[in-house]
Chains A and B, each alone.
Chain A
């Protein structure tokens, strides 16, 4: 399977615990995005990387959230001291950015977080 893969698919944790999600993008894609999706809503932008550089972060991304893409390949999203409001689907997407044109975003199947 050469699509975007995310791990784990489901995570149940207790409030206050730390969780980490991993995303493996399509190999030739230089841009990687993290989105959050809550029930009945569209995906909301969290952050994105161009290669290993994190270029933008949404104000939705509090200090408890950190994302990395150390070698410009896979990425991790860590949430520290989880809160019940963090319960959501965390989606990763990748694209090959070409010049000034927006490319198709390829989404993974998401990591669903439930904070008890």
Chain B
């Protein structure tokens, strides 16, 4: 099955700086790569996603890049704000959702220092 590795596990940045979180996946058949944000005591919430026919996608301060050849994808957050503090998960899925739905990374705890 799919295996998703995510790093770093903890990332601390100054408010206003950029943050980058990286993930790698194992199955070249995977074609859908979402990023979820999870705040304390809540369920994960989708913040951005990318499909394997696109190399980069941007939504305001958030962008995701995908390198299919290297099987890795990254989340970029610019001009970080205190409300960006949370745990971020990357995930990968195969066509049709696959029998297992999404395979998640272990998460990155992003801390925005004031």
Contacts and interface: CB of A to CB of B under 8 A. Distances in A.
B95 A109 contact: no
B101 A104 contact: no
B61 interface: no
A110 B31 CA distance: 27
Interface residues of A, number: 29
A105 B102 contact: yes
Contacts of A103: 97
Interface residues of B, number: 30
A104 B105 contact: no
A2 interface: no
A113 to B, nearest CB: 14
B70 interface: no
A102 B32 contact: yes
A86 B76 CA distance: 35
A74 B93 CA distance: 24
Given A45-B102, A91-B43, A104 B107 contact: no
Interface of A: 4, 31, 33, 35, 40-45, 48, 55-56, 58, 91, 93, 95, 97, 100-110
5 contacts: A33-B101, A42-B106, A100-B96, A102-B94, A104-B34
Top 8 A-B residue pairs of the complex, sorted by shortest distance between their CB atoms = A42-B104, A107-B43, A56-B99, A102-B32, A102-B93, A102-B97, A100-B96, A45-B100
